[in-house]
Chain A
Amino acid sequence: MLRLLLQRLVLLVPVLLGLTMLLFAIARLLPGDPVGLAAGPQASPERIEALRKEFGLDRPVWEQYWDYLVNLTQGDLGVSVMSRRPVADDIANFLPATLELVIAALVLAVVAGVPLGLLAAVHKNRAVDHFTRVFSLAALSTPPFFLGLLLQIAFAMSLNMLPLGGRFPIIELPPERVTGLLTVDALIALDWEAYILALKHLALPAITLCISPMATIIGLMRSSTIEILQQDHVRTAHAHGLSPSKIHFKYVLKSAFGATMTVIGLYFGWLLGGTVIVETVFDWPGIGLYATEAIVSQDFLPVIGVALVVGLMFVVSNIVIDLCYLLINPKMRSQ
């Protein structure tokens, strides 16, 4: 077990190496002049040259790449040409907002998706089932920006129930930063109204983001539950007089766990990189918004940094999921 974990972690090194190389190649092959923008409209050619030199952009690509790697070993992701701030600091600053959003969306997806999928399976091919399928397909078909806009029109603009965007009311002070997740920090500070405020801000973006994983969970839960209900041992157990609810519960719990794990494995990394749209619609200050701003200014190091961090978290989350499977299902260990 431990050996396996170590093995997987060691394999991370070539992945990281390859990922940086790939991102660097893409970024450097593209046209665009970040220095021209950073230097400002009236900058003289000399000043632009000086800036280029300062950021090492005048040197051969492979040299730049080597420097990047050396710095990376010290957790340094370079400096943004636009803001002159270290990229690592910026990401550390913006990542918690995105994490909070993604985690909230996944929790929502599981909490709503598991029972819905179950319901659909139990009532297979009946109205509830059809409704659930159409609902999840329709939900999957709604582009996040449109869903977000509709939610804003309904709950923020018309009903005035929830905020239009942002993470916390502007004039209020957020709870003291511990984890960077406002809901968690509010709980740590035992500050209930801060918790409610943070939740209110989280609600609409999280709902918008949870749609896709929720539809997947519903589908998985439905098919795996149908399979369980048809399996021989369930029928046998049934024949032996065990109460159906008890049997169902045990197997269903297992399949719910499986579905949840699969979806988290599938979606965690994907959502981290896919919050861009939701963050734009709801003005949510996370890494998606950060990456978008960097992309527009053709400021490459922040974009590479974000892609690297998201890619890494994707790989790591998959390792964790695999380990969880192993813990639950020791039979797989021999494989």
Chain B
Amino acid sequence: MTCHDRILLDDWHVVADLEHLRQHSRQSAELFEQQLDINLRADGSAEVRHKETGRVLPSQIKYGFVWVCVGTPSRDIIEIPEAGEADRYVVSGGSFPVRASGLRVVENFLDMGHFPFVHTGWLGEEPHTEVAPYQVELTPDDEIIATECYFYQPVASPTAEGGIEVEYKYRVYRPYIVSLYKTNPAYPDRKDYIVLFIQPVGPEDCVVHNMLCYLKEGMNEPDIRWFMQLIFAQDKPILENQLPKRLPLDPRAETPIRADKVAILYRRWLRDHCVSYGAIPAA
């Protein structure tokens, strides 16, 4: 299977973490089942070639990652103001390969209901399992936003002490890019920010790159990385045990509940944008 979704082919995708690339100055990657060679030039820019044809693909370095477009770029890389704020650490938690569709990863990221069961003792704990009603909307910019998402968390952040009621805001920018804004106990009016840049390696394989923008106060970079890796290591075995591996868009393929409101909209949005790569389109 190859990708025919114009919306994905003409978009930018992360294929390498710049820090990692700097250590080796060249590495290979796979995107939409196509092999790519990535070279770091002396001037600090990157060159991405299609391995089979040798064609040089449009690429950019932004937010500490190498971005590539296998088609003709139809829009810019997303704007993330948080990445430029001086009082934040901006770090990568590591690039995680996952044997599942990247769309499944997005949906898992948007889900609060699994906290007590998958992230037991950290992002949730039984018996506090209720997902209270929250707001979901499609913005004029064609993004999905979920707000007023509250959940009780025993250890909500790398440096949390004691349980707190956390507020989340979720945002889906592109089919394979999703972020969250999360309560920072030290700053009532500001939020920590986490974004996933998911590299669709194949329809049932992906690499999850991430950028973590935490407010510096009381925080340090190793703990931010450690926390992300702890949490993602708990998600990975669940993601890899979902059947089917691709995300089904037929409303009757799986059983949604009220807590899945944002996932329901995400699946519908993918269907409306004719995203089929990593999905099982509705019949």
Is the A/B pair a real complex?
no
